[in-house]
């Protein structure tokens, strides 16, 4: 979710609307005092808490390990026998990371280690952040085939959860993995690809951290390129009519549906030449989208009956915006607004119907939410636990501010996604059970058997994963 795509800082449209109401209600939000000390988790008995980005997952790892190299990692796995969970950027909203035993950082496994200039395959360390990978690729005249709009994730974390961007022709990042190195619970180092340990390769490209520790990943890249981004707010019926055309004709596109509003933001992307990009490159939107949306949320909290008016009037003032630049700069955006998120992928052909039902349900049930709903397409793949396994998908994401209640809203949405055989994003909030996963993923049992073979002592299973991979009695 990239809220800056609403270009609020440039237009100040929603902010103006929100601040007008704030003025009217005499300081109910604008004059609130700011606390001077964090209200977040603090050390207990000298143990540093771990928390994810949004703050909805917290644990107190007794040990923190950061091996310097492959030998150090193998030694750690061979000489210890407790549970281990690897952490990347902490951008998952589900309980994938929390552990009270050993938290493993792969921060010493960063950067590109090999570029095959003939095939354009690039090998990078597991802990490499996507933004840094993008910069390094750009310096080498290379580009990722596609990319999410958040680029702060660690590469191994993104792969472990089939993290994705948008575009019917483009798969998740996992789809472009051509090889990886996995260290198993016993310290065995396994090279995996389509021709070597293929079953592990098919499972490990979306492994939810449950098979072992990935140390490096080789991905198919391409020549560098430039992008043009065009965003436009349209009346909702017109937007729905246009979306199928955009899906087919544009390089990629995404939509943001505004709750309780009759408008939708459509964002389309096309490749352009360097010359066109250089000529058109302008200032990227930046700044106060967070404060703007917080203001709106606070206003609506105070005067909830104004929600419909605010959400209907404000979008009308947002016009067409265009942005040009290198691929890695257009994809990546600064994330200065924290939220919690649920995302489900439904079959691509059902995407628009599901999206419409989500927006209608929010209105009909008067759900107290202003956060836009994100809609994207992703191509199918053959990765066992990928949301896109043998099924092209439409991914629909719902959010709320990190400090606002989100579970009741997400539960309403999850019921809709279930009716469309939705598969949840592994790194986002969901309430799926093992039985439900078994029904959603044809290779579920194969994955479980492989997992048990690679990790018989269950060292990579935490409380969250225990729900899906219970001990075999």
49 binds another protein (CB under 8 A): yes
CB atoms closer than 10 angstroms to residue 21: 20
**225 close to 271: Cβ distance less than 8 angstroms:** yes
Site for another protein in 419-458 (CB under 8 A): none
Q: Please pick, from the candidates 55, 187, 235, 308, the single residue that binds another protein as defined by CB under 8 A.
A: 55
- Which region, judged by CB under 8 A, interacts with another protein, from 38-46, 239-247, 296-304, 365-373? 38-46
Among 71, 271, 278, 336, the residue binding another protein under the rule CB under 8 A is 336
Among 69, 286, 317, 433, which residue sits at the site for another protein (rule: CB under 8 A)? 286
Three-class SS state of 281: coil
Q: Which of 1, 8, 74, 106 binds another protein (CB under 8 A)?
A: 106
Is 53 an interacting residue with respect to another protein (CB under 8 A)? yes
Crossing angle of helices 351-364 and 236-249, in 10° steps, is: 160
* CB closer to another protein, 132 vs 221: 132
Q: Which sign, positive or negative, has the C-alpha torsion 308, 314, 316, 320? A: negative
Burial class (CB in 10 A: 0-12, 13-18, 19+), 4: buried
Number of residues forming the site for another protein (CB under 8 A): 45
Whose tokens are 């961007």? That residue is: 165
Q: Which of residues 208-247 bind another protein (CB under 8 A)?
A: none
- Does 69 help bind another protein (rule: CB under 8 A)? no
Binding window for another protein (CB under 8 A); candidates: 335-343, 359-367, 411-419, 453-461: 335-343
- Please compute, for residue 82, the number of CA atoms within 13 A of its CA located in the half-sphere on the CB side: 14
Could you give the CA distance from residue 59 to residue 49 in angstroms, rounded to a whole number?
6
Interatomic CA distance for residues 368 and 409, integer angstroms: 8
Q: 384-416 b/e with 16+ CB inside 10 Å = b?
A: bbbbbbebbbbbbbbbbbbebebeebbebbbeb
Closer CB to another protein, 291 or 467, in the complex: 291
Q: Alpha-carbon distance 417 to 344, whole Å?
A: 6
Query: Quick check: 131 binds another protein (CB under 8 A)?
Result: yes
Binder of another protein out of 6, 50, 409, 420 (CB under 8 A):
50
Window contacting another protein (CB under 8 A); options: 22-30, 128-136, 245-253, 356-364: 128-136
Chain residues 148-167 in contact with another protein, contact rule CB under 8 A:
152
Contact residue for another protein among 64, 198, 356, 363 (CB under 8 A): 64
| CB 5 within 8 Å of CB 256 | yes
Q: Which residues contact 203 (CB under 8 A, 6 or more apart)?
A: 211, 383, 384, 385, 443, 446, 447, 450, 451
Least gap, CB of 40 to another protein (angstroms): 3
Q: Do residues 255 and 375 touch, judged by C-beta distance below 8 A?
A: yes
Site stretch for another protein (CB under 8 A), options 31-39, 220-228, 307-315, 347-355 = 31-39
Smallest distance, Å, CB 112 to another protein? 14
Shortest Å, Cβ 284 to another protein: 11
To the nearest whole angstrom, how small is the minimum distance from the Cβ of residue 87 to another protein?
5
Both ends of the chain: CA-CA distance in Å? 42
Q: Which letter, b or e, does each residue of 121-153 get, where b requires 16 or more Cβ atoms within 10 Å of its Cβ?
A: bbbbbbbbbbbbbbebbbeeebbbbbbbbbbbb
Only segment of 41-49, 258-266, 350-358, 367-375 that touches another protein (CB under 8 A): 41-49
As a whole number of angstroms, the distance between CA 184 and CA 177 comes to 19
Q: What share of the chain is helix, strand, coil (3-state, %, to 5)?
A: 35, 25, 40
Choosing from 6, 170, 253, 290, the residue that interacts with another protein (CB under 8 A) is 290
Q: Which is nearer to another protein, 179 or 325 (CB)?
A: 325
Looking at 32-40, 233-241, 266-274, 361-369, which segment touches another protein (CB under 8 A)?
32-40
Distance (Å, rounded) from C-alpha 434 to C-alpha 472? 13
Using rule CB under 8 A, residue 52 touches another protein: yes
Residue 51 makes contact with another protein by CB under 8 A: yes
Binding site for another protein (CB under 8 A): 34, 36-43, 48-55, 58, 64, 66, 87-91, 97, 103, 105-107, 110, 127, 129, 131-132, 152, 286-287, 290-291, 334-338
């Amino acid at each position: 979710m990239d809220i800056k795509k609403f270009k609020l800082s440039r237009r100040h449209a929603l902010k103006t609307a929100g601040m007008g109401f704030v003025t009217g209600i005499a300081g109910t939000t604008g004059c609130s005092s700011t606390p001077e000390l964090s209200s977040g988790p603090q050390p207990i008995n000298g143990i540093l808490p771990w928390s994810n980005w949004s703050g909805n997952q917290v644990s107190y790892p007794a040990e923190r390990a950061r091996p310097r190299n492959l030998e150090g990692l193998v030694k750690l796995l061979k000489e210890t026998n407790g549970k281990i969970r690897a952490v990347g950027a902490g951008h998952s909203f589900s309980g994938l990371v929390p552990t009270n035993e050993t938290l493993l950082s792969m921060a010493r496994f960063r950067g590109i280690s090999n570029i095959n200039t003939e095939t354009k395959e690039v090998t990078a360390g597991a802990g490499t952040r996507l933004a840094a990978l993008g910069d390094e690729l750009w310096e080498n005249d290379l580009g990722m085939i596609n990319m999410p709009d958040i680029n702060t994730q660690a590469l191994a974390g993104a792969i472990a959860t089939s993290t994705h961007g948008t575009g019917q022709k483009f798969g998740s990042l996992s789809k472009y993995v051509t090889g990886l190195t996995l260290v198993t619970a016993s310290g065995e180092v396994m090279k995996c690809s389509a021709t070597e340990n293929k079953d592990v390769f098919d499972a490990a490209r979306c492994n939810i951290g449950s098979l072992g520790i990935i140390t490096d990943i080789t991905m198919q890249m391409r020549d560098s390129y430039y992008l043009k981004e065009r965003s436009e707010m349209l009346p909702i019926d017109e937007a729905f009519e246009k979306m199928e055309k955009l899906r087919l004709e544009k390089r990629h596109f995404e939509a943001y549906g505004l709750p309780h509003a009759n408008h939708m933001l459509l964002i389309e992307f096309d490749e352009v030449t360097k010359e066109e990009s250089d000529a058109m490159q302008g200032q990227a939107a930046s700044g106060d989208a967070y404060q703007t949306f917080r203001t709106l949320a606070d206003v609506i909290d105070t005067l909830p009956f104004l929600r419909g008016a605010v959400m209907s009037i404000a979008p009308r003032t947002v016009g067409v915006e265009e942005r040009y630049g290198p691929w890695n700069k257009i994809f990546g955006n600064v994330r200065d607004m924290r939220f919690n998120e649920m995302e489900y992928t439904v079959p691509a052909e059902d995407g628009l119907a599901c999206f419409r039902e989500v927006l209608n349900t929010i209105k009909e049930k008067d759900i107290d939410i202003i956060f836009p709903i994100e809609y994207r397409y992703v191509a199918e793949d053959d990765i066992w636990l990928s949301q896109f396994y043998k099924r092209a998908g439409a991914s629909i994401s719902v959010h709320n501010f990190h400090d606002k209640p989100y579970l009741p809203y997400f539960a309403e949405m999850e019921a809709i996604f279930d009716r469309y055989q939705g598969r949840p994003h592994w790194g986002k909030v969901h309430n799926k059970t093992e039985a439900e996963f078994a029904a959603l993923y044809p290779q579920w049992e194969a994955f479980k058997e492989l997992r048990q073979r690679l990790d018989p002592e269950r060292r990579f299973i935490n409380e969250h994963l225990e729900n899906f991979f219970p001990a075999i009695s």
